[in-house]
Amino acid sequence: MIILGIDPGSNITGFGVINVELGETVLMDSGVIRASKVGEDHQLRLKQIYDSVCELIGIHHPDLCAIEMPIFGNNPQSMLKLGRAQATAMLAALNHQIPVTEYTPKEVKKAVTGNGNASKEQVRYMVETILSMEGGSSVTMDASDALAVALCHVHRGGSTQKAHSKNWAAFIKENPDRIK
């Protein structure tokens, strides 16, 4: 199962793609989506996030999207923008018929480090260790947070098997691209 993890942000959105097969988790891709400050037009940044997530979906064909949800903040405007960025990424996945699962920051940290109050550095270290990434600290904090969200889905017992169709008619309806 291919899982797209997303750490949403209105300026920088982290992404991570992992493949889970037969109990083995393999890193496929990670990075960030930098929404340019096009005249500070927030709507255009959201479009950049949407288009970039759609492009990632087209490249990797994930089976599921795991996304971190914003919990609280001191600045209501910042929280509103963060919520919009999260909704934009979710909409991109849902428009491609990819199920979305949300996790709180504490759930993500606890699943990856064992400590719901872990620092970003601790999360990045554990992500690099779990995924056998060489080079140490080669991944940005935003990308490691996104990979942690994807790993959280696996560690929290989220589905890592594709759902089986009830019958052949259902399979054909659910997978028109697999029929020749």
Catalytic residues: 7, 68, 142
Taking the CA of residue 111 as centre, how many other CA atoms within 13 Å lie in the half-sphere pointing to its CB? 20
In a 13 Å sphere around the CA of 24, the CA atoms on its Cβ side amount to 6
**Are 107 and 156 within 8 A, CB to CB?**
yes
**151 closest CA partner among 126, 174, 134:** 126
Give the Cα separation of 82 and 74 in Å (integer): 12
Neighbours of 61 (CB within 10 A): 13
**Beta strand pairing call for 64-68 and 2-7:** parallel
